């Protein structure tokens, strides 16, 4: 299944706020809440919905998400928590969380067009896995800096997670450590995602 390129508002009306996909938020989630509270929704659909929420927020294909689930399943810690940490440490997501891009698709485009450096080297792979002490900067030219200037100016600094820091004057971000569960940027029940995939095999 390919990456989703359709109407974004359609997805957030069904799944709720997906800040990585779009800054827009649905006006009302009453229908969704009623479905959840009614108890009529099948357990499979609930697990599927959580999986779709994760997939569309981070902009992954089905195959990519499945690969991350397999990697997380081999870890000795909680599979769900490791899965979220793997997704949060992707370069495109780090740029989004730093405020260098307004959405994850926007961050992916910055990376694909070779505007981003990690530890002084150009990285053009959005799924590049960042590590603690990695330094993320833009290329030293006006075009690259102009692309992220507006995003940094309009981003909410209060929402910067504690595993990241940013120097807004030098357009430089630092990954201090692996993200903690409470700083994940999406309201998600990751255990239902793991359960969804465990029942598929």
Residue 80: domain span: 8-86+183-198
Please indicate, yes or no, whether residues 13 and 72 belong to a single structural domain of this protein.
yes
Q: What is the pLDDT of residue 3?
A: 63
Inside any domain, residue 114: yes
Q: Which single residue is written with the structure tokens 């938020």?
A: 25
Which band of pLDDT confidence, cut at 50, 70 and 90, is reported for residue 34? very low
51-64 residue pLDDT tens: 999 999 999 999 99
Q: What is the mean pLDDT of the chain?
A: 84
Torsion of CA 64, 68, 74, 79, to 10 degrees: -140
Please indicate, yes or no, whether residues 81 and 97 belong to a single structural domain of this protein.
no
Q: What is the pLDDT of residue 141?
A: 86
Measured CA to CA, the distance from residue 110 to residue 105 in angstroms comes to: 9
Q: What is the CATH number of the domain that holds 168?
A: 3.10.290.10
In this prediction the pTM is 0.81
Inside any domain, residue 43: yes
Inside any domain, residue 2: no
């Amino acid at each position: 299944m390919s990456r989703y390129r359709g109407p974004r508002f359609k997805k957030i009306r069904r799944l709720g706020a997906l800040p990585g996909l779009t800054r827009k938020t649905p006006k009302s989630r009453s229908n969704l809440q009623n479905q959840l509270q009614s108890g009529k929704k099948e357990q499979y659909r609930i697990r599927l919905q959580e999986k779709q929420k994760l997939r569309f927020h981070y902009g992954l294909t089905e195959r990519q998400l499945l690969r991350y689930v397999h990697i997380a399943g081999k870890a000795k810690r909680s599979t769900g928590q490791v899965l979220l940490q793997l997704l949060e440490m992707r370069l495109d997501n780090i740029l989004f969380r730093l405020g260098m891009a307004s959405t994850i698709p926007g961050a992916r485009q910055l990376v694909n067009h070779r505007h981003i450096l990690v530890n002084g080297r150009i990285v053009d792979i959005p799924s590049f896995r960042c590590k603690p002490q990695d330094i993320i900067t833009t290329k030293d030219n006006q075009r690259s800096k102009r692309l992220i200037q507006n995003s940094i100016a309009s981003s909410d600094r209060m929402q910067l997670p504690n595993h990241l820091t940013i120097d807004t004057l030098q357009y430089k971000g630092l990954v201090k450590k692996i993200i903690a569960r409470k700083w994940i940027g999406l309201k998600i029940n990751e255990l239902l995602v793991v359960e969804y995939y465990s029942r598929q095999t």
